[in-house]
Amino acid sequence: MATVTAQQEAGCPSGLAPPPSEDERPRVDLAAFVRHDKAGHDTLELMVTGAKCAGCIRKIEGGLLALPGVAEARLNLSTQRLRVAWTPGAMPPERIADTLTRLGYASAAFDPEAAQRKTDEEGRKLLRYLAVAGFAAMNIMMFSVPVWSGEGEMGEGTRTLLHWVSALIAIPAALYAAQPFFRSAYNALKARRANMDVPISLAVILTLSTSIAETLQQGEHAYFDGITMLLFFLLIGRYLDHRLRERARTAARDLLALQAVTATRIGEDGHADAVSARDIEIGDRLLIAAGDRAPVDGVIEDGVSEIDNAMLTGETLPVAVRTGDVIRAGAINLTQRITLRATARAENSAVAELARLIEAGEQGRAKYVRLADRAAALYVPVVHSLAALTFIGWMFGPMLLRALGYDFADVGFRGALQNAVAVLIITCPCALGLAVPAVQVVATGRLFKRGVLVKSGDALERLTEIDTVVFDKTGTLTLGKPKLAAPVSADVLLAAASLARISRHPLSRALVEAAGPGAPAANAKEYPGQGVEAEINGLTARLGRRAFAAPGAVEIEDGAVELWFTLGEKAPVRFAFIDALRADAADVVAELKRRGYRVELISGDRPAAVEAAARAAGIENWRAHVSPAEKTEHLRELRAAGRKPLMIGDGLNDAAALAAAHASASPGTAIEASQAAADLVIQGAALSPILEALTVAKAAHNRALENLRFSAAYNLVAAPLAALGFLTPLIAALAMSGSSMIVTLNALRLQAQTRS
């Protein structure tokens, strides 16, 4: 379990209302949603409301693991999905929901559509809060600027009138826009903890109260403009964080979208009917036409064909299958119709298991403690204590000093409160909150210009900790497209291509591409999993596997994939194809090694092909024939050994490993599910942007540390001045804005930094 900061333990800045009480929530029979896993456990998946941080994960998982018989409790923040596994009969499933209620979280049987609707509604609420705060701030500025510019010349009545107009806008707007902070602070205080939203809420309430009091007494200073502007900027950060969470959630969702939603089921009477994939039961017979995707795992009962397993293994070549062979959900039938008998339900298919692996990886990343969170761990108790001591000191200190014989003026309740508010305002976590995000915005902008899209808020921070780089092969280290390795006779190439033109096989298409335009062979016939046969000028021609086209030819082991071609009694011709490395792959690997990174290659492809690619790229550590689950497990083993791996992959079989890595990247040509699971998306055909991302990440880390040091130094100087009464709330607000400006300008230095 990752370390959790004081801020995270304190509560979540979610802005969600407390969950309904047990009496208000309708009881649902959860037994209907219990499933059995391969380990023999009962499992239940619930949607949890209100969990937003690593502290929530620890609280929920720890509370459930304490229940009798519970073997696993895993909460994914991105999808709000909680999975609990326990020994059958150890407890009723309702006890899990009751425990969540006792911990302060609402729950219901997991429904992806309901979770998405709730997420969308939360985003819409934040946008409304943001719009109200921005509208109020802009309008109040129209009345505040004349007060500032006309100070000393403006009459008391005019100034008071402008203050009242500002108050009429600011009070309802601030009370409405501050709801996310108020609710989060309330939930934290109710749990007898404090989070970063507590001082923000105090600053809002006390500043509004002070401004109203000043206006009632026709005072010179009111701070309605400052409080609405503060809420506006804080809500921008809150909404961006929400968007990042939603983007992370798309990985598993995009993956499940690739699973077939309908299937053709053959009834006992032989009739075929279209059914939902969710309704398929173990033992059902399914008809899979050419071009269809298998909706569930199963065994072929009848038929011979070729399937595309690239989604699951990353291997580009089709696989010949026949009666008795196993097919996994997500595989595409390429050539002929087959009959499949289901061996698993849709929720237990290979694709669904990949989605669970992705969610497990995302859940692990959610526990990563950001740099700003670590810096903020001491912020709340220090600021609260200082503000309280300031108020107490100015409220009772003068009386004590006078009792000791010192002549000290009494500032009263109003002065004590004003000084305490000045402390809260000047130490308001704007500079601290901007210290890291400002750097991340500039760094991601710079990387965008270099062809790297940064998708995760803390991706750059995790990238600075990387010590191992793990490449996938097909489509990542290589171009993912077979290419004719060596030239052959033009006449032979054209003759072979005439047969290849009737086939959808990837090697046939590569052969056609090498030959150029031409006509297909007449009367050609394709044999699934074998090749193509036709007659050319009265001679039998064959193109395909060695055993089909040239059974007497000598097998060649060079790591290349091949097609064989024979025409009549002429000597067989071998067409060798390679998946060429990206142009800069070897240079990038060499530079990574020079910088001290360990480099590995892991692939689901054949050992010969993986070894050839590893040798060409200069990678000594490689593994082949690795399944998606084994890839993910390897990444977990690296992390368990204390290493921080960067996974770079493009296939759907890489999505779970991308989510499990400490940081991850995916080429722009990758499928959407892999891009969604990755932290970085690299545009173009080159791998060199990876080096740029590592360089910029380290530079951004240095700028962020500089900003945090400045924020600490600023608070060490400014807070005592405010506590001693040297700063009014107006000067405190200006100083706070100035500190935010300084950290932003320091972040902009990244734009001018030259590439190292």
H helix or E strand, kind and range, residue 188 = helix 179-190
CB distance 549 to 543 below 8 Å:
yes
Q: Which amino acid is at 136?
A: A
Among the listed residues 472, 579, 654, 679, the single catalytic one is: 472
CB distance 489 to 584 below 8 Å:
no
Which candidate, 72, 605, 650, 615, places its Cα nearest to that of 316?
605
Radius of gyration in angstroms for the set of CA atoms belonging to the chain, rounded to a whole number: 32
Q: Which amino acid is at 528?
A: P
Could you give the CA distance from residue 221 to residue 358 in angstroms, rounded to a whole number?
Answer: 54
Distance (Å) of CA 586 to CA 581, 597, 613, 681: 8, 14, 10, 20
**Cβ contacts of 473 within 8 Å, gap of 6 or more:** 314, 579, 601, 602, 603, 605, 609, 610, 613
CB distance 550 to 564 below 8 Å:
yes
Task: Give catalytic status of residue 472 as yes or no.
Answer: yes
Structure tokens that stand for 222 in this block: 């009111």
Backbone angles phi, psi at 67, to 5 degrees: -75, 155
Which candidate, 150, 155, 184, places its Cα nearest to that of 17?
184
Structure tokens that stand for 751 in this block: 């734009």
Could you give the CA distance from residue 187 to residue 12 in angstroms, rounded to a whole number?
Answer: 8
Burial 153-165 (b: 16+ CB within 10 A, else e): ebeeeebbebbee
Which candidate, 325, 332, 329, places its Cα nearest to that of 353?
329
* Helix, strand or coil, per DSSP, at residue 307: strand
Could you give the CA distance from residue 308 to residue 333 in angstroms, rounded to a whole number?
Answer: 7
Which candidate, 62, 77, 658, 628, places its Cα nearest to that of 361?
658
Q: Which residues are catalytic?
A: 472
